[in-house]
Copies of this chain bind each other. A is one copy, B any other.
Amino acid sequence: MNTSLPLPKHFQAAGIAAGIKQRDVLDMALLYSTLPAVMAGTFTTNKIKAASVKLCMDRIEQAETGRAVIINSGNANACTGQQGVLDALAMSAKTAAQLGLDEDQVYVCSTGRIGVPLPMPCIEKGIEQAVPHLSEEHGALAAQAIMTTDTRPKTFTETLMVDGCEIRLTAMAKGAGMIEPNMATMLAFLLTDAAVDRRALRTVLRESVKKSFNRISVDGDMSTNDTVLCFANGAAGNQPLKPGHPQWDAFCALLDRATHTLAMMIIGDGEGAKKVVTIIVRGAGTDEDAERAARAIANSLLVKTSWVLRDANWGRVMDALGYSGAEVQESSVDLFYNERPAVLGGVAADTPAEDLRQVVDSSAFTIAVDLHLGIGAATVYSCDCTEEYVRINV
């Protein structure tokens, strides 16, 4: 396990085993800023939301700042009714009390099985354990504790000079199965010691999530628990970042690198997945049409299974394109595997099948579709569907 994940100034983390999962497996994390931090968040669009998601959404609407997030894996606290709401509140209240904070400064995230009430004795004992365990050294443990079917932790850290101050952005995520368009079973936490204007942070986070986490597809399902939270505590001492600040674009690019890196780590760790496939659709009538087409290809079970072996099987891509709902004119469709044409003008190009097979045989490749109808474009990331995926999910 990677034990060094530097945290930004005035952030601490904990990752402990509370007994929610089997014995001695890390299953609770606490992220804490010793200063009040400006907050931004994005949440699942699923109509059925976990109790913790509802709590976070309410809290972030109202609060100017936040200080901590307490996270458990192994149980989603979703479809748990009024009890779930009370449990999420108790989880934040207990954490706030232990840290000596107001309750509205503490956020809650849960991930795991749906429909089972939180084991509150474990959760409460876990909080008591986590608070004294807080340390600048424990970022990697927290990244480990939020995992469910992930095979490895997903982290990012980078620095940037702003106004002569070094600012750091450190981020962690969990993902794997059930990842789709709208961030399914995906938790991500971004911590920075930069000072950032609250409204600007919210706008840039939303845009950044749209281009990264919302563009990945493992199995087409969206979860009840997806949450991205960003804390900016200003400890670096820079002038607040916002549009007009000379380093604003550099900060936005940093945030984009973080979300894109984590999104790629999630897709690369899709349950049973062995390949990361980038789907680019361009030349669509509109961006929306391009996205519809790209998502239909990325989510097609037939397309995803065809990538498992060395088989381009571009007919399945054409089929998905045709039912995507996007405007498509068969005779003007071009389709490429990396730079090699498989289809030109709607019919098979003369690229040898062996060349296409070589592309599909690699662990990362790009399928590009040009519809030649307009300037709409979209990119979506997908992975293959292996027998392993089915084995994990039965």
Interface SS of chain A: helix, strand, loop or mixed? loop
Kindly state the separation between the CA atoms of A45 and B385 in the bound complex, as whole angstroms: 26
The answer to whether A347 touches B48, judged by C-beta atoms less than 8 angstroms apart, is: no
A123 within 8 A of B: no
Kindly state the separation between the CA atoms of A78 and B315 in the bound complex, as whole angstroms: 8
The answer to whether B348 touches A79, judged by C-beta atoms less than 8 angstroms apart, is: yes
Contact size range, A:
35 or more
Chain A 177-212, CB within 8 Å of chain B: the 1/0 string?
A: 110001010000000000000000000000000000
A247 within 8 A of B: no
List residues of A (149-189) whose CB comes within 8 Å of B's CBs: 177-178, 182, 184
The answer to whether B320 touches A221, judged by C-beta atoms less than 8 angstroms apart, is: yes
Binds B, one of A7-15, A97-105, A248-256, A297-305: A297-305
Q: Could you tell me the distance in whole angstroms from the C-beta of A351 to the nearest C-beta in chain B?
A: 12
The answer to whether B393 touches A315, judged by C-beta atoms less than 8 angstroms apart, is: no
Kindly state the separation between the CA atoms of A47 and B320 in the bound complex, as whole angstroms: 10
List residues of A (310-351) whose CB comes within 8 Å of B's CBs: 311, 314-316, 318-323, 326-328, 330-331, 333, 343, 345-348
Kindly state the separation between the CA atoms of A386 and B390 in the bound complex, as whole angstroms: 6
Kindly state the separation between the CA atoms of A327 and B331 in the bound complex, as whole angstroms: 38
Residues of chain B with a CB closer than 8 A to A345's CB? 81
Residues of chain B with a CB closer than 8 A to A328's CB? 47-48
Kindly state the separation between the CA atoms of A80 and B330 in the bound complex, as whole angstroms: 10
Given known A78-B318, A314-B115, A394-B311, contact A330–B47 (CB-CB < 8 A) = yes
A83 within 8 A of B: yes
Chain B: CB-nearest residue to A384: B394
A64 within 8 A of B: no
A224 within 8 A of B: yes
A391 within 8 A of B: yes
The answer to whether B178 touches A309, judged by C-beta atoms less than 8 angstroms apart, is: no
A41 within 8 A of B: no
Residues of chain B with a CB closer than 8 A to A333's CB? 48
Residues of chain B with a CB closer than 8 A to A184's CB? 323
The answer to whether A308 touches B48, judged by C-beta atoms less than 8 angstroms apart, is: no
Q: Could you tell me the distance in whole angstroms from the C-beta of A63 to the nearest C-beta in chain B?
A: 24
Given known A48-B322, A48-B328, A315-B79, contact A302–B393 (CB-CB < 8 A) = yes
Kindly state the separation between the CA atoms of A387 and B388 in the bound complex, as whole angstroms: 8
Kindly state the separation between the CA atoms of A326 and B389 in the bound complex, as whole angstroms: 28
The answer to whether B390 touches A115, judged by C-beta atoms less than 8 angstroms apart, is: no
A110 within 8 A of B: no
List residues of A (285-305) whose CB comes within 8 Å of B's CBs: 299-302, 305
List residues of A (218-241) whose CB comes within 8 Å of B's CBs: 219-224
The answer to whether B221 touches A316, judged by C-beta atoms less than 8 angstroms apart, is: yes
A76 within 8 A of B: yes
The answer to whether A331 touches B393, judged by C-beta atoms less than 8 angstroms apart, is: no
Chain B: CB-nearest residue to A185: B319
Chain B: CB-nearest residue to A219: B301
User: Besides the contacts A48-B333, A308-B390, what 11 more A-B pairs have beta carbons closer than 8 Å?
Assistant: A47-B326, A78-B319, A79-B318, A79-B330, A79-B347, A80-B348, A114-B316, A116-B348, A219-B301, A311-B394, A390-B390
Give the B-binding residues of A (Cβ under 8 A).
Answer: 45-49, 76, 78-81, 83-84, 113-116, 177-178, 182, 184, 219-224, 299-302, 305-306, 308-309, 311, 314-316, 318-323, 326-328, 330-331, 333, 343, 345-348, 385-387, 389-391, 393-394
What are 26 sample pairs from A and B whose C-beta atoms fall under 8 A apart? A46-B319, A47-B326, A47-B328, A48-B318, A48-B319, A48-B322, A48-B346, A78-B315, A78-B318, A79-B346, A79-B347, A81-B331, A81-B347, A114-B314, A114-B315, A114-B316, A115-B314, A116-B348, A177-B302, A178-B302, A182-B323, A221-B323, A224-B319, A301-B393, A305-B390, A305-B394
